[in-house]
Amino acid sequence: MPASLFEPGLMRTCRIQSVIVHSPSLKSFYLPSSLDAAPGQFVNLWLPGVDEKPISISGMRDGLMELSVKSVGPFTRALMDCAPGDLVGIRGPFGTGFSPASNSLLIGGGTGIAPIRFLAQSLRDRGMPYALVCGARSRCELIFEDELREWGCRFASDDGTCGICGVVTDLLDEAGESGLISVVCAAGPEPMLLRIMAWADGRSLPYQISFERYMKCGIGICGSCCLDGSGIRVCVEGPVLGKDQIAQVTECGLPHRDASGLRLGE
């Protein structure tokens, strides 16, 4: 069996080269990497002695992979304390990516901006036109605001500190006015994704949506990321799913399962 078949599952260790602090609980980490990754794919990031968790790739440039992370629990809190020179492990890239297409409407919410930013970077590199809207609770939770604005992004924030005061889906009608949209690509909190899918369904637009579920193995073995109704493993057949795949899923918008497999609140 050629060794390359196993390569994505191999752990590679590397040292963090640099860190951008967006806010004390939101940082981007730059790691030397020659991985061939598509926007929407993720890596399993390992912190020795802490844990291993899935993180989307938010950009690839000049031999550096960028990971943008928000502190929400033990792993991401430990990551916030990491500094240039610290050792981490990477497995991947895993999962499916977005299919780049001209006239895509890109929508990112919260940490979902990470894979959408990588997709925008890739479309720009290929000279493919796109429209871009991003939203967050507040300006301090927006990653890469200046760069995204330069790239033509329109913003929404819950508290009005950046862009319109409202949610990112309030920007969809305006973004869709040109009538040129070929596909909708989105990542972010699931209530936002549900509204985007309903909006796209109302206009008969195809979509590619990035889902998040609790993951353990990241390579399709443990079943912890399976979507009810479909058997789709978010780590293998996802995280980016198309309209036909999503139509089979019966748990969109329900509370997520935790590490034990129980749905939160069950």
Minimum CB separation of residue 129 from ligand FAD in Å reads 25
Instruction: Name the segment binding ligand FAD (CB under 6 A); options: 98-106, 121-129, 162-170, 209-217.
Output: 209-217
| 218 contact, one of ligand FAD, ligand FES, none, CB 5-8 Å limit per kind | ligand FES
Are 132 and 152 a contacting pair, CB within 8 Å? yes
Residue type, 264: L
Are 120 and 148 a contacting pair, CB within 8 Å? yes
Order of strands, sheet of 51-61, starting from the edge strand that comes earlier in the sequence? 12-15, 87-94, 42-47, 51-61, 64-70, 26-32, 18-23
Among 119, 142, 217, 232, binds ligand FES (CB under 6 A): 217
Using CB atoms, what's the residue nearest to ligand FAD? Answer: 73
User: Is the C-alpha dihedral spanning 202, 206, 210, 212 positive or negative?
Assistant: positive
Q: Does 223 bind ligand FES (CB under 6 A)?
A: yes
Q: Does 22 bind ligand FAD (CB under 6 A)?
A: no
| 176 contact, one of ligand FES, ligand FAD, none, CB 5-8 Å limit per kind | none
How many residues in the shown chain lie near ligand FAD by CB under 6 A?
23
Minimum CB distance to ligand FAD smaller for 53 or for 233: 53
Among 55, 88, 107, 184, binds ligand FAD (CB under 6 A): 55
Of 50, 52, 155, 36, which Cα lies nearest the Cα of 107? 155
| 198 contact, one of ligand FES, ligand FAD, none, CB 5-8 Å limit per kind | none
At 191, list the tokens. 């209530």
At 113, list the tokens. 């901006």
Within residues 47-76, the interface with ligand FES by CB under 6 A covers none
Among 15, 203, 256, 263, binds ligand FAD (CB under 6 A): 256
Minimum CB distance to ligand FES smaller for 124 or for 216: 216
| 73 contact, one of ligand FES, ligand FAD, none, CB 5-8 Å limit per kind | ligand FAD
Among 33, 44, 76, 96, binds ligand FAD (CB under 6 A): 76
Quick one: the chain helix, strand, coil %, rounded to 5? 25, 35, 40
SS3 (DSSP) at 241: strand
Minimum CB distance to ligand FAD smaller for 181 or for 196: 196
Are 38 and 65 a contacting pair, CB within 8 Å? no
> What whole-number distance in Å separates Cα of residue 112 and Cα of residue 189?
7
> What whole-number distance in Å separates Cα of residue 206 and Cα of residue 199?
11
First to last CA, the chain: 44
Minimum CB separation of residue 56 from ligand FAD in Å reads 4
Are 41 and 57 a contacting pair, CB within 8 Å? yes
SS3 (DSSP) at 209: strand
Q: Does 68 bind ligand FAD (CB under 6 A)?
A: yes
What residues line the site for ligand FES (CB under 6 A)?
A: 215-218, 220-225, 233, 235
